[in-house]
Amino acid sequence: MEQEVSQLQTEDDDSTGSTGLPRVRINQIVEASVPKKKGRLFGLARRSPSVPSASAPPPSYVDQEVLLSQIRDKDARISALESMVASQEAGWEAQRKLNVQMMAMMRSMNPNANVDFPTMPDPDFQNP
């Protein structure tokens, strides 16, 4: 038995073919040599990354129709937001054109002004 345990510990490959022992015998050797605590075996090996830990929540399975419905809802919301942004940008462009017209009209009323945006003191502002 000691020789079989040392054979299991020195082999790097996880397959039963590397030791020449059947899987049942390997399991018996491991159970006999690994300490038990509260009826559980400890120190067997690392957990494979593909296997979830015992404390991990179980994977949730969502119906594909539910996912497709959520995607359609989000697509509709994105389209609505895109149209809102486009209308807002169109409003900004219209305001920019109106500002240019107002500036042209102000320049025509006062052709001697060299300042694009004259700053006027606010009569209601009180300096502390």
Whole-number Å distance between alpha carbons of 120 and 102: 17
CA dist 106 to 76, 85, 115, 118, Å? 45, 31, 11, 11
Q: 0.85 exceeded by the pTM?
A: no
3-46 tens-digit pLDDT: 655 655 554 445 555 667 777 777 777 777 776 666 666 655 55
Residues 6+ apart with CB under 8 A from 16: 22, 23, 26
Count CB-CB contacts under 10 A for residue 106.
13
Which DSSP letter does residue 37 get? Answer: E
